[in-house]
Structure 1
Amino acid sequence: MFSKSFVRRALSGLAIAGCLVVGLPTLSFADGLPGFTLWGGVKGEDSLNFRLDFGGRAGSWDRYRLRIPAKKMKLAVEQFAISYPDYYKGEFDTKNVEVIVKDKSIKLQEVRWNKDNHLLEIYPEEPIPAGSGVEIQLANVRNPSFGGMFYFNCQVLSPGDVPLLRYLGTWVITIS
């Protein structure tokens, strides 16, 4: 009735369509999570994990959960400096910044947003011990009104260290 080549092509087409349909729900769960960069970008060992709680939609409100693994925290930290590109036109709420260490929120001495230099500075009251996993939560963030890929660089200052910021890694945040 049908030729063998027709049946093979039809079955191949159905298999591909089935894989695409099965893969669609998985893709929708990826909203707000780090994606996969094919070209360029940050070296694997410098890439930091994050989550955008409300999907990273352009022009909307969001909460950024910026994570630093314990293995990156080789020295104690008394200041975090998060720089971002000049074309990122989002807004931060310095009153809604939280630093979480070992599942506990720590007290902050000060949070400064230097808009001119595209820098968010976070000063804990006490230095964060070396080897601690850290999550920096930025709540009430107003995402930029246009989408894009934004490199947020994390630098730290250690107590008693030469007063130069040390690079820890980069969060590659995509706003759609």
Structure 2
Amino acid sequence: MKIHMIKKLGIASCLAIACVVAPTAVRAQANAGFILFGGVKDSALDYCLDNGTSSRNDRYYLEVKPQSFKVSEVIITYPDHFNGSFDTNDIKLRVTGQCRGGKDLEIESATWDRENRRITVIPKEAIPAKTALRVVLSNVRNPDYGGFYQFDGRVLRADVPVPVYIGSWVITLD
């Protein structure tokens, strides 16, 4: 740019343009994702990541929308090309409609079945109907390669022990 254009735009405008054009070094991700296949319009679930970079440790905040029934279990499955890992000692269920914050619920157990690519979180008490939740997975080791990873969510009804599909988190890693 010529000097007179910089003077005309002003320093603040030039800095704003530089911030938009310049890449950021570290960023947290929040995204509802998108579903490539399927007929259910509202099957994309919201999520946030603290890092979002491949081959790094991360924390995932996965939305569980309020259900019309009591929930006794949350089940998360993930694709076979996701070669990351999970720390079952640091999995939480949190009552919140926001990405971060909220009140932690007591957990009976959190298990990771590597062979079947499944995480199961069981609260101490059934979660009341119409409660907004987040599953917080801390100390996740992201896979070696970036890309899209579709995690599917199910909950177990407290009254009838049948898994109910609640949607998918399409997680994007750089």
In the superposition, the TM-score normalised over structure 1's length comes to: 0.77
CA RMSD, aligned part only? 2.6
- Aligned pair in 2 of structure 1 residues 28, 35: CA closer, same or farther (>3 Å)? farther
Task: Tell me the number of residue pairs that the alignment of Structure 1 and Structure 2 aligns.
Answer: 153
| Match in the other structure for 2:46 | 49
Alignment of 1:26-37 (within 5 A): 31-34=28-31, 37=34
CA distance in 2, matches of 1:137, 1:47: 17
State percent identity of aligned pairs: 29
| Match in the other structure for 1:164 | 162
CA distance in 2, matches of 1:46, 1:124: 24
CA distance in 1, matches of 2:23, 2:173: 19
Cα contact 2:126–2:158 (8 A) shared by 1: yes
- Aligned pair in 2 of structure 1 residues 82, 171: CA closer, same or farther (>3 Å)? same
Alignment of 1:1-176 (within 5 A): 23-24=20-21, 31-34=28-31, 37=34, 40-41=36-37, 43-54=40-51, 56-70=52-66, 73-102=67-96, 103-161=102-160, 163-176=161-174
Report which of the two structures shows the higher radius of gyration computed on alpha carbons. Answer: 1
**Could you list the runs of 5+ residues in structure 1 that have no partner in the other structure?**
1-19
In the superposition, the TM-score normalised over structure 2's length comes to: 0.78
**Could you list the runs of 5+ residues in structure 2 that have no partner in the other structure?**
1-16, 97-101
Question: More helix by proportion, 1 or 2?
Answer: 1
